A and B are shown apart, each in its own frame.
Chain A
Amino acid sequence: MARKLARHTGGQEKTVPWLTLKMRETMEAWLFISPTLAGFLIFFVGPLVAVVWYSLTEWNLLSQQSVFVGLDNYQDALVRNADFWKVVRNSIIFAIGLVPLNMGMALALALALSRPFRGVIFFRTVFFAPVVTSAVAWAIVWKFLLQGDAGFVNQLLAQVGIHGPNWLREPDWAMVAVIITRVIKMVGLNMILYIAALQAIPRDYEAAARLEGASSWQIFRMITWPLLGPTTLVIMVITTIGSFKVFDHIYLMTGGGPENGTLVLAFYIYQQGFQFFDVGYASALAMIMFVIVMGLTITQLALRRRDT
């Protein structure tokens, strides 16, 4: 041991003259972090700067030339192009339909499944299974189930005397179908976040409240719900941002249709950029999406700060 220590300090002395320990640590840290940082700069920061520039230009993919056009693309979106506001409206309807449904269901399931009973693991496994399934597979199967008269869902409805709509061919019903199938796919994720939060609440609180004669509803309203506050906030933001990102689900189930009834922002960007090759306009849309998502995030941070 003594010899080892001596050798060790001996080794240190050699390096100290030209590199202090602190400098050495800093160098090592940057070395460790450099792959992540380099990739981050190349595939994230660079493109983020580029998209700002693109959004100010008109790019013709065929002639490979770009012309500076100022805020023209933004004007196109906000003023000239009626599609844009329809897309914004669709995105908001999608979010307003999806977020409360997802969160309410997640909380209800979590309350039901946060305590041990026979079969609890089975049900948690079932409700979480769609989360690990690819959105493409999920959308394909539901598209199959939701076909007009031949679709299984409508045949099932016919059994009880309901004439089901042609789900994916009528704009409003298509939106309903996309929202519901998306909720079923993703609700498991929020469910387990709620379960984790519920299990972190000390059982004594509830026991004490019961001794005082509180009802289950009172316990939920006065103890559980307030304690879930921070989790609810995080889930709300993740789910809302997630709802703005939805792409593959809509691409496969409706393709943005019918009559652009399910055309949401993420899909619109893809359509303008990669199907119509209107790079400048698509970049302006991407910037608008960036602003919306950042706005949501900052709102969350502000809310959280106010709470604590």
Chain B
Amino acid sequence: MTNLLSQRRLKVIKQICWTFSLGVVAIPFVFPFLWMISAGLKGPSEIFGQPSLIPTELRWSNYLEVFSYQPFARQYFNSLYIAVAVTVLTLFISSLAGYALARLRFAGAALVGLFLVSALMVPEEVTIIPNFFLIRWLGLSDTHWPLILLPVFGPQGIVGTFLMRQYFLALPKELEEAGKMDGLSRLGVWWRIALPMSRPALAAVAIITFLNSWNLFLEPLIFISSLEKFTLPLALSNFTDPYGLPLWHLQLAATTLAVGPILIVYLIAQRQIIESFALSGVKG
């Protein structure tokens, strides 16, 4: 009996040690977020004083200043609407293509698949120079179009296509056949039967596409020049004083505003979000 008890105690101690060491490893993962929030609430002088996680006084005015320093509300809205547009378009286009690759038999299907997959391996830096001239030739420089078109038709859209294809392949065919018997067109079967059954896959594609667009940096950097057309990542990198030195208190307050909502959604839906990445990672 005592032996059993001490064994259990040993297990508890082991568990505590285990959790403690994981906690230590977790510090560099959590700490930057805490410090970001804390420093965003400090004054410019306190930021470089004695380091302390709790500001001596909470300077909420930093958050107001962020919006007067540059059109931050507008920039925030740009990021949001672009990410939504990219997500909706990607869902639409990639589920159509994914459905064709999964369900329809046609000459050249394997070739098309291979063709698309090969693009996943090519970094965007390889094609960005010609794309820059293409966009300029189309008269779309300094507009949001390249930030929508390039991700939708780039590798991200193709990841989506293959995720959808994989999911469609695993669906039972019978319902779709029944739909066809009832006189639905191919488009009708896709829209009314296949898509409603594919919510998990659509959610996964939506999550990774949205985040990818929200965090996009190279394309905005190259294509956007007007302040009011900036997206968040570009805006964040732009909090500098006239000498080009960073205005840390504003920059970190703005970063908190940009990262905060994403983190909150992540904490609520972490299982779903992590699974989405696992799915797309295996594919890539």
Q: By DSSP majority rule, is chain A's interface helix, strand, loop, or mixed? A: helix
B278 within 8 Å of A (CB atoms): yes
* B281 touching A293, Cβ below 8 Å: no
Residue of B whose beta carbon sits closest to that of A124:
B274
Q: Which stretch of A96-104, A214-222, A278-286 is in the interface? A: A278-286
A48 within 8 Å of B (CB atoms): yes
Q: Which stretch of A2-10, A69-77, A78-86, A204-212 is in the interface? A: A2-10
Chain A: interface residue total (CB-CB under 8 A): 88
* B153 touching A42, Cβ below 8 Å: yes
* A290 touching B122, Cβ below 8 Å: yes
A127 within 8 Å of B (CB atoms): yes
CA distance A156 to B51 in the complex (A): 9
CA distance A205 to B96 in the complex (A): 42
CA distance A4 to B128 in the complex (A): 54
B243 within 8 Å of A (CB atoms): no
A236 within 8 Å of B (CB atoms): no
* B274 touching A252, Cβ below 8 Å: no
Q: Which residues between 244 and 258 of chain A lie within 8 Å of chain B, taking CB atoms?
A: 244-245, 247-248, 251-252
Residue of B whose beta carbon sits closest to that of A193:
B281
Q: Which residues between 148 and 167 of chain B lie within 8 Å of chain A, taking CB atoms?
A: 149-150, 152-154, 157-158, 161
* B33 touching A129, Cβ below 8 Å: yes
CA distance A289 to B122 in the complex (A): 9
B143 within 8 Å of A (CB atoms): no
* A29 touching B121, Cβ below 8 Å: no
* A5 touching B121, Cβ below 8 Å: no
Residue of B whose beta carbon sits closest to that of A109:
B25
A135 within 8 Å of B (CB atoms): yes
* B149 touching A193, Cβ below 8 Å: no
CA distance A134 to B232 in the complex (A): 10
Chain A min CB distance to B69 (Å): 15
Residues of B within 8 A of A135 (CB): 215, 217
A125 within 8 Å of B (CB atoms): yes
* A125 touching B125, Cβ below 8 Å: no
Set A124, A134, A247: member contacting B218, Cβ < 8 A: A247
Residues of A within 8 A of B26 (CB): 123, 126-127
CA distance A307 to B106 in the complex (A): 32
* A137 touching B270, Cβ below 8 Å: no
Q: Which stretch of B55-63, B197-205, B258-266 is in the interface? A: B258-266
A176 within 8 Å of B (CB atoms): no
CA distance A48 to B262 in the complex (A): 34
B273 within 8 Å of A (CB atoms): yes
Most buried by A among B29, B48, B109: B29
* B158 touching A40, Cβ below 8 Å: yes
Chain B min CB distance to A211 (Å): 21
Q: Could you list 20 examples of A-B contacts with CB < 8 Å?
A: A26-B104, A32-B99, A33-B112, A36-B153, A39-B149, A39-B153, A43-B131, A109-B25, A126-B26, A128-B270, A130-B32, A133-B263, A134-B262, A137-B255, A137-B259, A144-B246, A274-B132, A286-B125, A286-B127, A286-B129
CB-CB nearest 6 A-B residue pairs: A39-B153, A47-B130, A32-B100, A50-B130, A134-B215, A36-B97
On B, residues with C-beta under 8 Å from A are 15, 18-19, 22, 25-26, 28-30, 32-33, 35-36, 39, 48, 51, 93-94, 96-97, 99-101, 104-107, 109, 112, 115-116, 119, 121-134, 149-150, 152-154, 157-158, 161, 181-183, 186, 190, 211, 214-215, 217-218, 221-222, 232-233, 236-237, 246, 248, 251-252, 255, 258-259, 262-263, 266-267, 270-271, 273-274, 277-278, 281-282, 284
Besides the contacts A5-B181, A46-B130, A135-B215, what 14 more A-B pairs have beta carbons closer than 8 Å? A26-B106, A36-B96, A43-B134, A43-B153, A44-B127, A119-B19, A125-B274, A134-B217, A137-B255, A152-B35, A193-B281, A245-B124, A245-B125, A251-B217
